[in-house]
Amino acid sequence: MKSTGEVMGIATTFGSAFAKSQVAANQALPKHGVVFISVNDHDKRDVAFIAKKLADLKFKVMATRGTAKALRSAGIDVAIVDKHYEGENNALTLVKKGEINLIINTPSGKKSQSDMRVIRAAAILHNIPCITTLQGAWAAVNGIEASLKEEFTVESLQSLYGHLITER
């Protein structure tokens, strides 16, 4: 039997619970730094809201050319990063240098899937969270915001729900 490695975070807010779950999965969300965003055409409009929130949380935003164009049209300050086969200033190089702290990527099609496979592998090696859906990106933003507002505590399930067990 294979384990899928589920983890859990319990808190009074979704953001806090999600952030705790990411710590448990050894993918702690960054509280500051640089976010690299590269999304498919369908997600470009919606990712602008996520990028804006991250910029408001003082993250520097970097993106591939197409995503950067969409983010700039939404009024977000964004630096352009080359695709990994285009030049020196590319996401793969920046990941390896430790200059990216969070990746949001929703590729589509064979070419973008294979391009990002290399970047995701590097992200895993360098322990950089890599989010692959907009829903996951929203959860991450909620988690980052929660972690900036409060210090997390650890409580056992028994301390939270022990009364349910003893009432039986």
Burial of 164 (0-12, 13-18, 19+ CB in 10 A): exposed
Q: Is 90 a domain residue?
A: yes
Q: By the 8 A CB rule, do 41 and 67 touch?
A: no
Quick one: how far is CA 62 from the chain centroid?
13
Structurally, the chain folds into a number of domains equal to 1
Interatomic CA distance for residues 140 and 16, integer angstroms: 10
pLDDT at 115: 67
Q: Is 55 inside a domain boundary?
A: yes
Element at 103 (helix H, strand E): strand 102-106
pLDDT reported for residue 138:
97
- Give the domain range for residue 49: 31-137
- Report the largest interatomic distance among the alpha carbons of the chain, rounded to a whole angstrom: 65
Rounded Cα distance, 168 and 149, in Å:
37
* pLDDT < 70 regions, the chain: 1-5, 84-85, 109-115, 163-168
Residue 144, domain member (yes or no): no
Amino acid code (one letter) for 121: A
Residue 44 lies in a domain: yes
Q: Would residue 159 count as lying in a domain?
A: no
DSSP reduced 3-state for 79: strand
- pLDDT at position 131 is 93
The CATH number assigned to the domain holding 68 equals: 3.40.50.1380
Instruction: Determine, yes or no, domain membership for 18.
Output: no
Helix axes of 44-56 and 134-149: crossing angle, nearest 10 degrees: 10
User: 20 lies in a domain?
Assistant: no
Q: Is residue 11 part of a domain?
A: no
State the Rg of the chain over Cα: 18
Predicted confidence at residue 1, as pLDDT, reads: 45
